[in-house]
Amino acid sequence: MSTIQRAYKTELDLNNVQLTACRKHAGAARWAYNWGLARKQEAYHATSKSPSAIDLHRELNALKQTDVPWMYAVSKCAAQEALRNLDNAFAHFFRRCQLKQQGKLRGKVGYPTRKSKKRGLGSFRLTGTIVVFPGAIQLPRLGRLRLKERGYLPTGGVRILSATVSEQAGHWYVSVLVEQAHAIPANRGPAVGVDLGVKKLATLSDGAEEPNPRHLKQRRRKIKRCQRAVSRKPKGSHNRRKAAQRLGTRHRTVANQRANTVHHLTSRLAKTKSVVVLEDLNVAGMLKNHSLALAIGDGGFGAFRRQLTYKAAWYGCRVVVARRWEPSSKTCSGCGWVDGNLTLADRVSHCAACGLVIDRDVNAAINLSKLAGSSSESLNACGEASSGYGREAMVKLAPMKQEPDTFSAPA
């Protein structure tokens, strides 16, 4: 029996007083982050040294007495944790810089930027005395806040580490980070290869398919109309703000639908399979291809891999990631013959060597499933090396030389 850290997120049911208090806290956190960022940059240019979160918090406490007395209205945690986040943001940036130099990272290094109110009110984290009741949560300074869902947050047998309150399109959520005892269940399910795609969200090596609901595509017209309504209104006007809120609500609906589909799929895989083999898709690169971008973003590939990795650790499943540049689609799953002429338009692969006729995606998934036993260097979803719980094993997909299996194409 070991312990794991796990977050439980649920929606808050705030009254007007609490709403104002939450907005103040989020505002204070945002201000502290931006102020800290500016101070760090100033200090670095002057002395080539950057003050830590603790230094900055001390400085901010002095500043409260003169420049920012309104900070007294909110919990000190809001600013403190925001400055801690800023430190983490820099640590993340420097780590990624190093990886970039070593050539172990694809993508951006991510220098910390200012937080803008235009991009949402944001969030704040509180520590200290946090008590969970079946229908409410008690937080420092904010008091007892009602929850929209009863009984989801764990009330007993866990240690509460922190609570993060966040806003999205007018809805407020609390995410409670807890440390809880965890026994990894014995997972006796089969190993499976998963081929992610645009037409079908996922194809499994056992022939099962998960359709891609294409949530965004369905609602795109309405979103477009809302977006036009926003851009037609004068900047800074009340009507523009209201139109932006309507647009935000529409985006939120799509995001929730997408998250729901991906959560269901990843939970099912992690619970019922002992090993899941994925292909390392270059999602950021694929999003640059405009004809594919909408469909891929809509599928939530990045979220799929991230969720599968952490859920695998909960349910005793192992995730293996096959390297991207190996041709899992072009290799025959029966005999290992590589079809150099296969294009994206070919939905069925015909093997010239053994005569196997099989759905293209199932073929790729079977090739992936053959890597279930392998494990080597591991990378996380950001393309960085990772270790510990919920890690993925990274393997090289080599051309297979095996006796041909007897396989028939699914009808």
- Catalogue the active-site residues: 195, 279, 361
When the beta carbons of 39 and 330 are compared against Zn ion, the nearer one is 330
List b or e across 164-202, with b for residues whose CB sees 16 or more CB atoms inside 10 angstroms: bbbbbbeebbbbbbbeeeeeeeebebebbbbbbbbeebb
When the beta carbons of 292 and 357 are compared against Zn ion, the nearer one is 357
Using alpha carbons, list the distances in angstroms from residue 274 to 193, 282, 390: 11, 25, 13
Q: How far is C-alpha 163 from the geometric centre of its chain's CA atoms?
A: 19
User: 């029966």: which residue's tokens?
Assistant: 334
Here the tokens at position 216 are 């965004």
Binding residues (CB under 5 A) for Zn ion: these are: 332, 334-335, 337, 351, 353-354, 356
Question: Which runs of consecutive H residues, i.e. helices, occur in 51-135?
Answer: 53-66, 76-101
> Least CB distance from residue 363 to Zn ion, whole Å?
9
Here the tokens at position 405 are 């299996």
When the beta carbons of 85 and 363 are compared against Zn ion, the nearer one is 363
> Least CB distance from residue 346 to Zn ion, whole Å?
15
Beta-bridge partners for 124? 165
> Least CB distance from residue 190 to Zn ion, whole Å?
23
When the beta carbons of 348 and 353 are compared against Zn ion, the nearer one is 353
> What is the length of the chain?
411
CB 199 within 8 A of CB 56: no
CA 130 – CA 234 distance, rounded (Å): 43
Q: Give the β-pairing of 318-322 and 275-279.
A: parallel
CB 292 within 8 A of CB 299: no
List b or e across 370-401, with b for residues whose CB sees 16 or more CB atoms inside 10 angstroms: bbbebeeebbbbebbeeeeebbbbbbebeebe
Secondary structure of the chain: what % helix, strand, coil (to 5)? Answer: 40, 20, 35
Here the tokens at position 328 are 């899992």
When the beta carbons of 334 and 390 are compared against Zn ion, the nearer one is 334
SS3 59: helix
> Least CB distance from residue 198 to Zn ion, whole Å?
25
Using alpha carbons, list the distances in angstroms from residue 61 to 23, 30, 67, 324: 21, 16, 10, 50
3 phi and psi angles, rounded to 5 deg: -110, 145
> Least CB distance from residue 407 to Zn ion, whole Å?
9
When the beta carbons of 195 and 339 are compared against Zn ion, the nearer one is 339
When the beta carbons of 181 and 353 are compared against Zn ion, the nearer one is 353
> Least CB distance from residue 406 to Zn ion, whole Å?
12
Here the tokens at position 7 are 């977050």
> Least CB distance from residue 342 to Zn ion, whole Å?
12
